[in-house]
Structure 1
């Protein structure tokens, strides 16, 4: 033990910077923990509001709630599942919405990541059809997963609409604004085919490196831009490299 105490007598001053490092790490951990706790509370609150809204709607308008009375409980859950996915696809397939609310397509955003996890969970429990035979426990588990899916989507959507393009630099925001303006020309039926094709190519150039746009979104945009675009206009970014 004597060498250890000798070391301490010579290097006692190291304790202060080490304490600072430890304190910084503790503060960072505490901040992350608070963030995770806040996100859990937001999702729990959204789930509570969602259940209350559905219960209230059924109480106010029983006929509306019975519109699908002929459907099985499983069919109604499947329909809810499809409705949420359709809302999500509006962001995934609409380049204009991607530009306006980029956080909805950014899996690095904590609430978007939580939504995507909830989506995977619901998709994993989804039966093949409304005629599938499920035990009461399986149906309950699937219904709860769909409720979680919808709540997580609502929270992520609210957060994305709050954030908008705040996560980008001034220069990047200008590029996003330019892309949004060009997009209007690209889908404007009053513009000439040449104007629309030029605007389309410039949209792709402005968004390159800023947003990750799926092939499906590009295909959807191309169908809106023109009946047929020249092959060089529809070429994928990875094909040019």
Structure 2
């Protein structure tokens, strides 16, 4: 339980949504938090190691003790910082790609609608964390930023990773349970029609008719982004995508 309270201190913004969930769901969310915590701890240890290398190289550059590094003393700080920043940028991109896998795949949106529903508390928390991480993101790994800026960005990406894991876990738990029975039937019909719309063995007319029905069934239930519509239309027919 000590790990849980450590999380509670770091992620107070998730307290109310988590308390609102059932005990079984809390167990699943806690596992997601544990997994993210391990990855966050590993990244922090790597950060400390790289910072130590930077400090050692700086001392050597000022004429102090020799730097214990394979890099030249003058280039070690920049190289270590760039290495850390590159890893953080890569993790940022990985999380965003996992989110877009839901956002642009209509089949996944129908199966797990909470992932695109900002009214869901945990999804809203994830979107806020994404906005913060995106705002703090440097242009590239070679961008010169202060140690404070690097630390803020590192923490923001850590929060982003944790928030995504929790939102995804909750969306997979909820599925379509937040919709009424009639709405769930519409979602089921849309899922079946979607299979026809992307079925290459069906005729062009059948696929386009199924695509229009999918849009009608989802109207008012799930909001599709323009990008998601474009991806779907390209699967249905090249002429629709064009």
The structure 2 residue matched to 1:195, chosen from 196, 206, 219, is 206
2:96 paired residue number: 85
Alignment gaps of 5+ in structure 2: 1-13, 21-25, 46-79
Kept in 2: contact 1:46–1:152 (CA 8 A):
no
Specify the SS of the correspondent of 1:177: helix
Aligned residues: 189
- Of stretches 130-139 and 176-185 in structure 1, the one that deviates more from structure 2 is 130-139
Counterpart CA distance in 2 for 1:178 and 1:38 is 34
Alignment gaps of 5+ in structure 1: 1-32, 60-68, 235-241
Counterpart CA distance in 1 for 2:161 and 2:210 is 36
1:147 paired residue number: 158
**Structure 1 residues 104 and 74 mapped into 2: Cα distance closer, same or farther (>3 Å)?**
same
1:29 paired residue number: none
The structure 1 residue matched to 2:133, chosen from 87, 112, 122, is 122
Counterpart CA distance in 2 for 1:227 and 1:192 is 13
Q: How far off is 1:52 after superposition?
A: 1.6
Q: How far off is 1:139 after superposition?
A: 1.0
Instruction: State whether structure 2 residue 19 is matched by structure 1 residue 38.
Output: yes
Kept in 2: contact 1:47–1:147 (CA 8 A):
no
Counterpart CA distance in 2 for 1:37 and 1:217 is 30
Q: How far off is 1:133 after superposition?
A: 0.8
Cα offsets for 1:54-105 (capped at 9, x unmatched): 6679x9xxxxxxxxx9x61101100100000000001111111110000000
Task: Note the 1:209-220 alignment, pairs <5 A.
Answer: 209-220=220-231
1:74 paired residue number: 85
Counterpart CA distance in 2 for 1:154 and 1:97 is 16
Task: Note the 1:1-241 alignment, pairs <5 A.
Answer: 35-36=16-17, 38=19, 46-53=32-39, 72-229=83-240
**Structure 1 residues 115 and 83 mapped into 2: Cα distance closer, same or farther (>3 Å)?**
same
Q: How far off is 1:38 after superposition?
A: 3.0
Kept in 2: contact 1:176–1:206 (CA 8 A):
yes
Root-mean-square deviation (CA), in Å?
Answer: 3.0
Kept in 2: contact 1:103–1:109 (CA 8 A):
yes
Counterpart CA distance in 1 for 2:17 and 2:219 is 32
Specify the SS of the correspondent of 2:238: coil
Counterpart CA distance in 2 for 1:72 and 1:34 is 34
Q: How far off is 1:134 after superposition?
A: 1.5
